[in-house]
Every structure is written in structure tokens, then in C-alpha cells.
Structure 1
Amino acid sequence: MLQLQALREQKDNIIEALKKRNLEAAPLVEAILVQDEKRRSLQTKLDNTLADANKLSKEIGMLFKSGKTEEANKIKAQTGNLKEVSKSLNEELNLAAEELQNLLYQIPNVPHKSVPAGSSEQDNEEIFREGDIPKLTAEALPHWELAKKYDIIDFELGVKITGAGFPVYKGKGAKLQRALISYFLDKNTTAGYTEMQVPHLVNEASGYGTGQLPDKEGQMYHVKADDLYLIPTAEVPVTNMFRNQILSEKDFPICCTAYTPCFRREAGSYGAHVRGLNRLHQFDKVEIVRIEHPDNSYTALDNMVNHIKEILNELKLPYRILRLCGGDLGFTAALTYDFEVFSTAQDKWLEISSVSNFETYQSNRLKLRYKDERGKTQLAHTLNGSSLALPRVLAGILENYQDGNGIQIPEVLIPYTGFERID
């Protein structure tokens, strides 16, 4: 959520910057500022009314002490009227504050200056590419056919149990899945991230804190009886651990990693591009989250990118990194890098990780602050990244490591799987 002070002081700059998102923000920004002025005016009226009431109360007390009961009772009637006025003003103020909050929720984060202009994923900027794309034989299969051939993932059984998008991993497929989770966590903890085990359901406040609500409400599974949401990523519970906290500068950086299943409704996703593991309603992911001093957050973002590059280099998967354009940038992000692995059998790139800096957008919602060296309270910066999402990594391994007689396991994973091949 953007800060009101920034909207007041940098209105024109913010409106101009949001054009990178193909958003004409002037009407919304103006509505926010008008509503803020209304809220501030009501607050001033309420403060003055309460001050008048307190002043009269003191005067009444003095009159009663002086034995001037009749005069005190006359003034007492005035305080009753002031209480009614203050009650009405307080109700108006609460409504005005709620409306202001709802307006602020509608405005996305301001893109970083390096974000390219553009309207869709076609305008994303490729900034790095690594790895040779394997040359497969004509008999090479896409991962969903490999999964069936070697009986390691059963998509139809998942449909029977739950529905489309909930696969069942079997035998060596399940072990490979577990191996990837352990490998990712070990890489992250070795790099200085503290491993967390977090709830897989969150309350509404947590959803609003990291920006999944109200923007992505339709994409989240909602347990209505308890008003809880299944998490779309570990980012939500991990980042919310620091909601309503005031840190000190010595606490930085805070680095956490967590494995969780993730749940996404992915409403409206149909067709061949979502076949197999390409898009699921439930999938496993290992996440990294950082809470940083504002002066260091972009250095931290670069470190996160390099960390994920190291993982993909060890897996020996061909990949590229994209800097997302304004039209493809997530609602809460200031800058995002997407990692994509090349699926040789499908002949296309598959997104496997997003690494983002949210600057103060999430921390303003979370009230996640720190005291600087002058003792002044400031908003921290939050960052997160997939390290990594499993389905498309697994798809890339199955397709790129097939040799016609089976599937070779990447060397770095063999200590985790306990086997070298699937055949």
C-alpha cells in the first residue's frame, strides 16, 4: 500500500510512474487525496470537540467544588450535547477512514525506474540466459507422457480423489519430489536463510498484509466456516510473522525459508498450455523471504537472483531471467525477475520462479517498521522469491534428462533420491 505522505508530496511523479503499468491513476489518486482531506477534517473536528468537552468537565468540577451547583448543572447539559456530537463525528471518521483504506487498496505499487514499459509478457526484457538446450530424439515425450510411462505421477487418480490440478506422485516420482524439497531447503539454509515451518491456512489480516487480498481474492481457496484462506505461497505466513513489529537496524537482514504446499484456484485456466504439471491447483514450493533495510534491499534482490542462478546451474537446466515489464508486474511488486526453464519436449519456456522487491508496499500494510539511528520509525523493505517451485522444475528434469531408455537424475540430487535413474 502506498504511503499517504508520498501521494501528497509526489502526486505527479507517482501518476507518471504508474503509466508503466498502463494505468491512468490520476482519478484514483485524486479521490484518495480528497478522501484523506475529509478524514483529516473530521479528525480535527473530533479533536476540537473532545477538547471542548474536557475543558467544560474541568470547569464543572471547579464549580461543584465552589458550591455553584446550579451553574455547574447548566454547563453539564452542554457536555451532554458535545458527547453526542463527538459520537457522531467518531462514526463519520471511522467510515471515512475505511473508505480511504479501500481506495488505497486499489492502487498498485509504483514500478522501479528499471522496469521496462510494456503491456504484456511479450514486452518482458530478457537479461540473462544460461545452459545449452538438449537435442532430443524424435521419440522424446512431454513430461505428462513420461509420468504415465514410468508410473511416477498419476493425474487421473488425482482427478478421482479431488479434481483436475491435484496430481498424485508415486514411487520414484514421490521420492524425486521429496529430494527437490530437501535440496532446495539445504541450499537456502546454507546461504543463511533460517528454515521455518508455518501454517498452511491464514486469516484475513494476513491476506491483506501481503497483498493477496483484496487483489487476488478470487484466486484463493476460502474456508468460509472459519474465515481462513489456504495459502497461495509461503510468502504469506512467513512475511506476516513480522506484522505489527518494530525492529532495530541491527536486526537486518532477516532471511527466512519455508517449504509449503501451495493452493491456487487458477480460475479460467484451460487448454494445452496448462497440461500436466504446467499449472496446478495444489503444488509444492520452497520460498525465500527477506526483511531488509531500505538502503540494502536492491543489493539483497541481486543476491537472491544469484542464489537461484546457482541452484539452476547445479541442476544443469537451461534457463533464462526476465525483467518484467510494467504491464506484467504483480500488483504489489516494485521490481520482479522471472526465471524460466526451457522445456525441450514442449519447446517452450516455463516460469519456475519470481523474485521481487516490494519496497515499503507490503510493510505499510503490515505496519512492519524499524527505528533508525536517530530513533525515528521507518518502514522496512520486504522481498521474496521462489527457491524453487517444484512442478515445472520437475517437468524440466523429466523432459530434458530423458534418453529414450529412462530419465537420468541430476547429479546434485542423487544423494537425496538414493537412485540415479527412473526407468
Structure 2
Amino acid sequence: MLDPNLLRQDPAALARRLRESRGFELDAAALERLESGRKALQVRTQELQSLRNAHSKEIGMLMGSIARLRASGDSGQAEANLAKAEALKAEVSGSGDALKASEVELERIRAELDALALGIPNIPDDSVPPGADESANVEQHRWGTPRAFDFPVRDHVDLGVRHGWLDGEAAARLSGARFTVLRGQLARLHRALAQFMLDLHVNEHGYEETGVPVLVNADAMRGTGQLPKFEDDLFSTTVGEGESASKRYLIPTAEVPLTNLVADAIIEPERLPLRMAAHSMCFRAEAGSHGRDTRGMIRQHQFEKVELVSITRPGDSDAEHERMTRCAEVVLERLGLPYRRMLLCSGDMGFAARKTWDLEVWLPSQDSYREISSCSNCGDFQARRMLARWRNDATGKPEPLHTLNGSGVAVGRALVAVMENYQQADGSITVPEALRPYMGGAESIS
């Protein structure tokens, strides 16, 4: 959620900025109308509350004086005070109805403003290049040289199916399209990748290993920006019926529960930065996606990732963003997988991000680089939605934190990259040296 001051100060200027950077159409007129109504109702409500409080105080003083006046023999003044108190009580009763109506209307307008604000994307950092889609992304650097093959290159599906390791047909019978069953040595290689990544980030990069639920409530999804905008891309489940029904969402990434661990909290400065890593199942409906990526393991409804999340002071988040991205790069370098780093343009970034680096790994079967990690600095955007704050040690006051998240990396896509880059002419797959300790020392699988 953007700083409320940005919404209030100049809605038209904000609308222009969002249109130019994000292609997002903000209804500035509606925002101005709602904000004007909020201000007027807030003033009216405060006036009615002050009037009620003043009258209540005066009634108390009048009623307290009646017995004293009667005891002193001034019954005339006592009766006058009683009459005035009764008149004020009637006035308070009448103004109470007006106050209640004003409070209800104010709450309605605030709810409309909140709903509008929750649908507005983050504003890109000044260093983010403008652009409408991935064609405007900017390559930063490359690592590694794609392998030259002296035999026809197979894709990961052909490599997996011919050994019976990768079974999409069995998964389709169980769950439908875009699920996969892994067997035997390929299943072990997949597990080895996850263990390797987690060990690397925990033991060398200093992240705290964290186990998280894969079912979360709507508040957690709103906090990181998946709701309300992306409900169609989420899987959900409901337990119970009627008023007792409880809806939960399957996480699209461990970013959701990890980041929400600081929701509604004030973090003391000495605890920052918080760095957490989690290996989890992830679930995405990805409504509308189609094409070659739905074959095999590139784009599935269920997949695994090792996710990195950092919680920082505002002034430290840019350096932390670079650090996190470098941690993800080390994964690919240890695996010997060629990759490139891309700076995403404003129109290709995620809803909550203010700046994003993508890492794209080389896939020989596609003769191209494909995304395997996305590392984003969200600034205070998620923190404002979650009421996640830190106590500024300079002022002693609570202020919004900065949150960052990144894939460290997607396990299934790493498996695809290893299979294709390390394939041999006979269909066997050489095991990267970094993974051999997790594979019982095996140098290849066949």
C-alpha cells in the first residue's frame, strides 16, 4: 500500500505517474471525491463527539450541584439546573443519532478508500527503466558460457520420460494437467537441489531456516499484495459451512507466510536485518497461461522453491536487495549453470515490487535464457499493508519497515536446467559436483 500522503496530496499527479510507469489507470476523480467526503465527515464526526463530551461534562456538573443547592435552601436554582440538565440530555440523545450516522458513513468511505488503495501497485524506483513489457528489460551481466553439444539436444521432458523418471500422464490422472510425478533418481536429484540450496543460504549466507504453513488466511495474502487483485491466480480451500466456514489459501510462494511473520509487530532496531529462508510447496492457478511452458515442469500448478525474505531498515534495503540477488546467483554458479541478470522495466515488475532483478538460466532445448529467480525490493509497500514497523533508534518512533523477497531458487526449474545442461548423448545426466554429497557420491544418473 502506498503512503496515504501520496493519495491525498495530488491524486491527479499520482494517476499520471502510475499510468506512465505501470500502465495503471487510477480513478483520480473518485479518489478526490472520496477523500473530500472523508475529510468533511471526519470534521463533522469530531465536532459531534466534542459537543457530546462537552454536554456530558456539563450535565455531570449540573446534576452534582442540585443536591448541594437544595441543601443550602436554593431550591429555585436547583430546579433550574435540573431543567437545564434534562434539556442537555435530550440534546445529547438527539446528537447521538447524528453522531452514529456520521460514524457509519465515515467508516463506509474509509472502507472504499482502503479498497481503492489496496488495488494500486507500488511505484517503481527511479533506477527502474520505463517500459510496457519484458522487451524493455535491461541485461546487467552474464555468467558462464552455454555448452556446445555434439549431439541432438533433448528437452527435460524427453530426458525424463524415456527413463520413466518424469510422469505427466500419471499426474494428470491424479490431479489434472500441469502436475508431475517424479520417480527414482530424478526425484532424488530434485530433493538434492532443495537441500543444497537451503544449506547454502543457511550455512554460508546467514539466513535463518524457517518452516512455514502452506495454507494461510486472507489477511496474510492481502499483506503481501496477492489479494484482492490476484484472487483468480490462487488456489483456496474452505472448511466448514455457513457462518462457521473458514477459507484458507494455498501459498503461491513462501514469501507470503515469511513476510507476514512481522505483521502487526514493532521490531527493535538491533534485530534488523531479519533474514529467513524456507523450502516449501507453492501453488499457482495461473489462469490464462498457455503454450510450451505448460508442458513438463516449467510452469506447473504445484512446484517447490527455496524462498529468501529479508526485513530491513528503510536505508538498508537497496544494499540488501543486491546482497539477496547475489545469494541467488551463487546457487547457479555452484551448479555451473550459465545465467544472466536482468533489471525489469516498470511494466514487467510484480504488483508489490519497486525494483526487481530477474535471474535467467540457460536452457539448451529452447536456445534461450529463462527466468529461474526473481528478487524484489518492495520498500514499505507491504509493510504498510501489514502494519509491520521498526522502532527508529534515532527518533524512538515506530516507522514502516522495508521488505524484500527472492527465489533462491525455483527447485523445479533448477532441475530442468541441470537435466538439459548436463545431459549426455546416451540420455544419462551428469550430477553437478555441488550436488554429489546429496546424491550419495553419484557422478551421474541413468
Indicate whether 1:181 and 2:187 are aligned: no
Indicate whether 1:218 and 2:232 are aligned: yes
Give distance in 2, aligned partners of 1:24 and 1:356: 19
Q: Per the alignment, do residues 6 and 22 of structure 1 end up closer, same or farther by CA in structure 2, a change over 3 Å counting? A: closer
Aligned to 2:183: 170
> Sequence identity, in percent?
38
8 Å CA contact 2:236–2:247 kept in 1: the answer is yes
8 Å CA contact 1:350–1:392 kept in 2: the answer is no
Q: What residue identity is the alignment partner of 1:205?
A: D
Give distance in 2, aligned partners of 1:12 and 1:48: 30
Deviation of residue 294 (structure 1)? 0.8
2:388 to 359, 368, 373: 368
Q: What residue identity is the alignment partner of 2:375?
A: V
Indicate whether 1:392 and 2:391 are aligned: no
8 Å CA contact 1:129–1:319 kept in 2: the answer is yes
Q: Per the alignment, do residues 347 and 369 of structure 1 end up closer, same or farther by CA in structure 2, a change over 3 Å counting? A: same
Q: Quick check: which has more Rg, 1 or 2?
A: 2
Quick check: 37-46 or 118-127, which moved more? 37-46
Aligned to 1:411: 433
2:399 to 371, 375, 378: 378
Aligned to 1:119: 132
Q: What residue identity is the alignment partner of 2:398?
A: T
Indicate whether 1:81 and 2:94 are aligned: yes
Give the 5 Å matches for 1:291-370. 291-370=311-390
Q: What residue identity is the alignment partner of 2:438?
A: Y
Give distance in 1, aligned partners of 2:381 and 2:180: 35
Give distance in 2, aligned partners of 1:74 and 1:7: 44
Aligned to 1:402: 423
Q: What residue identity is the alignment partner of 1:379?
A: P
Deviation of residue 35 (structure 1)? 1.7
Give distance in 1, aligned partners of 2:368 and 2:297: 14
Q: Per the alignment, do residues 160 and 95 of structure 1 end up closer, same or farther by CA in structure 2, a change over 3 Å counting? A: same
Structure 2 unmatched ranges of 5 or more:
67-80, 240-245
Give distance in 2, aligned partners of 1:271 and 1:65: 81
Aligned to 1:105: 118
Q: What residue identity is the alignment partner of 1:5?
A: N
Give distance in 2, aligned partners of 1:112 and 1:33: 25
Q: What residue identity is the alignment partner of 2:434?
A: V
TM-score (norm 2): 0.91
Deviations 1:151-179 (A, max 9, x none): 22211111011111111111111111111
Give distance in 2, aligned partners of 1:420 and 1:278: 25
Give distance in 1, aligned partners of 2:24 and 2:273: 36
Secondary structure at the counterpart of residue 27 of structure 2: helix
Aligned to 1:156: 169
2:211 to 189, 193, 197: 197
Deviation of residue 117 (structure 1)? 1.2
Deviation of residue 141 (structure 1)? 1.0
Aligned length: 422
8 Å CA contact 1:20–1:326 kept in 2: the answer is no
Aligned to 1:4: 4
Secondary structure at the counterpart of residue 378 of structure 2: strand
Structure 1 unmatched ranges of 5 or more:
none
Q: Per the alignment, do residues 20 and 398 of structure 1 end up closer, same or farther by CA in structure 2, a change over 3 Å counting? A: farther
Give distance in 2, aligned partners of 1:194 and 1:33: 44
